[in-house]
Structure 1
Amino acid sequence: MQRLQRARASQLARRLQAASRSRLWLRIELGLIFFGIPTVVLVCRLSGFRLPLVPTLLVVCAGIVAMLVRDPHFDRRVLATLRGLGNESRRVLLFFAVSAAVLMAYTAWVWPERFLDLPRERPWLWAMVMVLYPVLSVLPQELIYRVYFFHRYSRAVGDPRVLLALSAVAFGYVHVLYGAWISVILTLVGGLLFGLTYLRTRSIWLVSLEHALYGCFLFTVGLGRFFYEAV
């Protein structure tokens, strides 16, 4: 009996040790992917080797999707669910309306010469951005920073509040590549909003809609210049 108890205790200890190592490696992986890669890209761009950001984003997203599809623990229904399009969509739209009013007033006050400049001066380019930005930028970012991030690192982090904060910081950090403090601040706040929506609904479509609303609005109101290649 004592031998059996010792064997079980030893087996449990090995499992706990293996789980601890797994969490450690996941945390290291998180740091390398979400902070290491943007840092390398930033250093390359500052050194004169400019990796195009959108193609790089699409390549990374393709790799992320491949890993998700091959992961037996990933619930693929996340990619199709329309949960949250009721009460949560009303919350998203209400908060967006308030935020948009504040950002519009701020832009008109601080940068009056830039206010609504893209639709006024280059309407065709503005229309292209409204169509292509959600597909080529928003959806890949949401697959990486919400779907993959929350699936992959929930076990390593544990507390969903910490996971939400980490995802927002990572989302804000990658926007250092645009070379403007306002893009980092806005995306840090946006990361919290989008992460909260995803945690509450597990719907990539609702969180992508939310992200697209804010992004398209920023390009419309005159803040889009902080969100295209600068560094």
Structure 2
Amino acid sequence: MSGHSVGRGTQASNMRLKIEFTSFYGAVPLLIAALFPPNWMFPALFFFTAIGIVLLHRTPGFSWAELRYGWRNWRWVELTGFTLAMAAICSVLVVTTRPDAAFFLLLNRPEFLAAIWLGYPLVSALPQELLFRTLFYRRYHAILPDGVALPLLNAGLFAFAHLMYWSWVVTVMTFAGGLLFSWAYRKRGSFFYAVLLHAVAGNIIFAAGLGVFFYSGNVQRPF
């Protein structure tokens, strides 16, 4: 096979990846946010997740065993510091933005909060990290930018995927979280650490009362 043929094949493959990437991380979240009624959002997200898992499974060279790599590459002192900082930030944010919701589940429905703490890591944090870290970096590496633009793009798309909540609080928190989870996945080489940080962050968000911003029943579109 000539070099020109290989080059054309690579270009065609990259173009398909760009179309797929733009559709999956751009068009689909936009459609969900703009067109889907609030009670359809979670079924749509589960369908979105299922598509992502299929794409990941079909990614050339990918093995599910990779998810175990580097699972010990984290430190207790780091996790403790993050937990304390997250608790402080969320406490200030909820008291500032929604004082009526501050620590509501923790004080009034601790059994419901416990159920969230048990379910969130598996139902939400794990699949989101599969889509926005493993799928993002493994399947689309050939078309992604280099340098600092890469984690910024990842965090930006992670925040954009939460556009359906139409909340600046959600946007800021998911963008910051995206940067941190991307760092854990790429720099520490640990999918487990990314999921762990995501799970801790999510559970603190609900304990503090910021879950009101992540509840589809509270969604108010600006149009």
The letter for the 2-side match of 1:217 is I
Asked if structure 1 preserves the Cα contact closer than 8 Å seen for 2:59 and 2:138, the reply is no
Q: 1:158 to 1:15 in 2, by over 3 A?
A: farther
Aligned identity (percent) is: 28
The answer on whether the counterparts of 2:29 and 2:164 sit within 8 Å (CA) in structure 1 is: yes
Q: Matched residue pairs, number?
A: 218
SS at match of 2:71: coil
**1:1-231 superposed matches below 5 A:** 11-45=2-36, 49-50=37-38, 52-87=40-75, 90-159=77-146, 161-229=148-216, 230-231=219-220
* CA separation of 1:165 and 1:24: change in aligned 2, threshold 3 A: farther
Contact 1:54 1:136 in 2 (8 A): no
What is the SS of the residue equivalent to 1:52? helix
Partner residue, 1:5: none
Q: Which piece of structure 1 moves more, 191-200 or 122-131?
A: 122-131
- Counterpart of 2:66 in structure 1: which amino acid? V
Equivalent in the alignment of 1:3? none
Task: Structure 1 unaligned segments of length 5 or more: list them.
Answer: 1-7
The structural deviation recorded for 1:175 is: 1.0
Maintained 8 Å contact 1:118/1:219: yes
Describe the shift of the 1:146–1:160 C-alpha distance in structure 2 as closer, same or farther (beyond 3 A): farther
**Contact 1:83–1:201 (CA<8 Å) still a contact in 2?**
no
- The 1:28/1:72 distance shift into structure 2, 3 A limit, reads closer
1-structure distance, mates of 2:53, 2:151: 21
Distance 2:168 2:69 in 1: 35
- How big is the shift at 1:190? 0.7
Runs of 4+ in 1 over 4 A off after TM superposition: none
Higher Cα Rg: structure 1 or 2? 1
Change (3 A) 1:83 1:210: same
Deviations 1:114-168 (A, max 9, x none): 2211111222221211111111111111111111111111111141533322211
1:210 aligned partner, one-letter code: L
Counterparts in 2 of 1:154 and 1:161: CA distance versus 1, 3 Å = farther
Whole-angstrom distance in 2 between the partners of 1:181 and 1:106: 12
CA distance, structure 1, for counterparts of residue 46 and residue 189 of structure 2: 22
Deviation at 1:51, TM superposition (A): 5.4
Separation of aligned partners in 2, 1:21 and 1:167: 24
Report the aligned-residue RMSD: 2.2
Q: TM-score w.r.t. structure 1 length?
A: 0.83
Letter in 2 for 1:59: F
